Amino acid sequence: MAKRKRLTPANTAFLSQEPEGSERSSHTSSPPIAQVVEESSEAAALSALSDELHTARQEGRMIERLPLSRLKDDFLVRDRITMDGGELESLVTSLRERGQQTPIDVTKLSDNEFGLISGWRRVTALRRLFKETDNERFSTVLAIVRKPDASSDAYRAMVEENEIRLGLSYYERARIAAKATEQGVFSDNREALKTLYAAASRAKRSKISSFMEIYYALDGCLKFPKALPERQGLLLAKALKGDKKLARRLNDRLRKTPATTAEAELKLLENAVSKLESTATKSVSERQHPSKSKIGKGKGDGGRQNILIEAELGEVDPLITIRGVGVDEAFLSRLRKWVEAQV
């Protein structure tokens, strides 16, 4: 009978050995196709991020940090004439303690220069802090780079920001409208008022228009024009319109004896228009009870007049309203011819 051989267990060390010339693959490595997909995804994400940043910059949605040395403060004629000392101190304290909270608006003029649209007070305060402390923290400003389609858009952005944050005086509003017109940004004052103060009421634009009379007559001679109250300014504008020699007299007086305080200057102007006080009181009465005149053109049903003319002559900008069933194209045609003959 043949003798059986006993089987021995396999040599595990031998089984774990790899054939000569074979490369040991790592269990952590990814297949080639997975690496390609991963790299493509990263490239696509970077491209999308780059496009989004570019779009945000183009649309003025990105806040950038710009050196103050690259800002051109006089890119626009500033609407604010001066800044109160206390107001500047408060802003400087806030920037020192909390930093800049709101970005300014600028437009790119060249690779190394930006024109200031709005934020003049913040820039002024930062410049002062950098000069006093020499701290690099105050050498830059947070800004949004805008791309206004025209100069008029830049002026409107500046005016609207100040109207929202800290209202201008009527004189400052009138001055910037006049300055923008003088620089050719707008064809005339009417266009300047309608564009810069598009959100303002008709009555407010009318008051600003009146203060433009003061700007043209007394700019450069008034030391404290911001202090001129609305009511006194409207009276002064009316006086300047009614007396063509008044501007020259006031200029001579202001140059010979310049006022040292706002109160003294206001008193001088008040004396110049004191004769208009009674007229102003009458105008207020007319605004509360506007005079109405009626003119009939035939009779309507029931014997009533079918054309009504209402006149409000107490306003700075007088208003005449014509209404009724008799107002038609033929009537308007005759009215236009009559008005043209009066001008």
Whether residue 180 is found in the same domain as residue 277: yes
Whether residue 172 is found in the same domain as residue 274: yes
Task: Tell me which of 27 and 191 has the higher pLDDT.
Answer: 191
Q: Are strands 113-118 and 71-72 parallel, antiparallel or unpaired?
A: parallel
* Whole-number pLDDT of residue 316: 47
Is 187 within the bounds of a domain?
yes
Whether residue 115 is found in the same domain as residue 76: yes
Mean of pLDDT over the chain: 78
Residue 104, strand partner residues: 143
Q: Are strands 140-146 and 104-110 parallel, antiparallel or unpaired?
A: parallel
Residue 54 sits at the vertex; the CA angle it makes with 50 and 60, to the nearest 5 degrees, is 145
- Contacting residues for 259 by C-beta, under 8 A, at least 6 apart: 223, 224, 265, 268
Residue 164 has pLDDT above 80, yes or no: no
Task: Tell me which of 97 and 328 has the higher pLDDT.
Answer: 97
Cβ-in-10-Å burial (0-12, 13-18, 19+) of 204 comes to: middle
Query: Total structural domains in the chain?
Result: 3
* Whole-number pLDDT of residue 300: 46
60 dihedral zone (left: phi>0; alpha: psi -120 to 50; beta): left
Whether residue 89 is found in the same domain as residue 174: no
Choose one of 272, 289, 306: the last residue of a domain: 289
Query: Tens of pLDDT along 128-157?
Result: 999 999 999 999 999 988 888 777 888 888
Task: Tell me which of 327 and 229 has the higher pLDDT.
Answer: 229
Is 32 within the bounds of a domain?
no
* Whole-number pLDDT of residue 11: 59
- Average pLDDT score over residue span 216-226: 91
Its pTM stands at: 0.54
Question: Using an 8 Å Cβ cutoff, are 42 and 81 in contact?
Answer: no
- State the pLDDT confidence band at 22, using cuts at 50, 70 and 90: low
- Residue matched to tokens 């009779």: 299
- State the pLDDT confidence band at 165, using cuts at 50, 70 and 90: low
Task: Tell me which of 338 and 36 has the higher pLDDT.
Answer: 338
Task: Tell me which of 139 and 56 has the higher pLDDT.
Answer: 139
Whether residue 230 is found in the same domain as residue 251: yes
- Average pLDDT score over residue span 110-122: 88
Is 40 within the bounds of a domain?
no
Distance between CA atoms of residues 84 and 224, nearest Å:
12
Residue 198 sits at the vertex; the CA angle it makes with 319 and 166, to the nearest 5 degrees, is 115
* Whole-number pLDDT of residue 65: 92
Whether residue 117 is found in the same domain as residue 199: no
Whether residue 230 is found in the same domain as residue 282: yes
Residue 236 has pLDDT above 80, yes or no: yes
- State the pLDDT confidence band at 87, using cuts at 50, 70 and 90: confident
Query: Tens of pLDDT along 268-284?
Result: 888 877 755 554 455 54
Whether residue 320 is found in the same domain as residue 284: no
* Whole-number pLDDT of residue 298: 46
Choose one of 274, 289, 304: the last residue of a domain: 289
* Whole-number pLDDT of residue 161: 74
Choose one of 166, 199, 219: the last residue of a domain: 166
Residue 312 has pLDDT above 90, yes or no: no
Residue 232 has pLDDT above 60, yes or no: yes
Whether residue 190 is found in the same domain as residue 280: yes
Convert 223-261 to b/e letters by CB count within 10 Å (16 or more is b): ebbbebeeeebbbbbbbbeeeeebbeebeebbeeeebee
Distance between first and last Cα of the chain: 145
- Domain of 312, in residue numbers: 290-335
* Whole-number pLDDT of residue 90: 84
Residue 208 has pLDDT above 90, yes or no: yes
Question: Using an 8 Å Cβ cutoff, are 203 and 173 in contact?
Answer: no
- Percent pLDDT > 90 in the chain is 26
Whether residue 277 is found in the same domain as residue 253: yes
Is 20 within the bounds of a domain?
no
Whether residue 295 is found in the same domain as residue 223: no
Q: Which of 41-45, 134-138, 148-152, 219-223 has the lowest mean pLDDT?
A: 41-45
Is 267 within the bounds of a domain?
yes
Question: Using an 8 Å Cβ cutoff, are 77 and 179 in contact?
Answer: yes
The CATH number linked to 248 is 1.10.10
* Whole-number pLDDT of residue 113: 92
Whether residue 222 is found in the same domain as residue 244: yes
Is 266 within the bounds of a domain?
yes
The CATH number linked to 111 is 3.90.1530.10
Distance between CA atoms of residues 218 and 228, nearest Å:
12
Is 12 within the bounds of a domain?
no
Is 202 within the bounds of a domain?
yes
- Average pLDDT score over residue span 313-334: 73
